[in-house]
Amino acid sequence: MPQTRRMLSPATRQALRLLGGLIEEGRIRNGWSRETLAERVGVGALTIRRLVRGEPGVAIGT
pTM of the full structure = 0.81
> Does residue 5 belong to any structural domain of this protein?
no
Is 1's pLDDT higher than 60?
no
- For residue 57, give the nearest of 2, 4, 21, 1 by alpha carbon: 4
Domain that residue 22 falls in: 15-53
- For residue 37, give the nearest of 62, 29, 45, 19 by alpha carbon: 45
Which tens digits make up the pLDDT trace of 37-48? Answer: 999 999 999 999
What is the number of domains present in the chain? 1
> Does residue 24 belong to any structural domain of this protein?
yes
Is 3's pLDDT higher than 90?
no
Stretch 13-21: mean pLDDT: 95
pLDDT of residue 17: 95
> Does residue 2 belong to any structural domain of this protein?
no
C-alpha to C-alpha distances, 26 to 6, 8, 37, nearest whole angstrom: 29, 26, 10
> Does residue 58 belong to any structural domain of this protein?
no
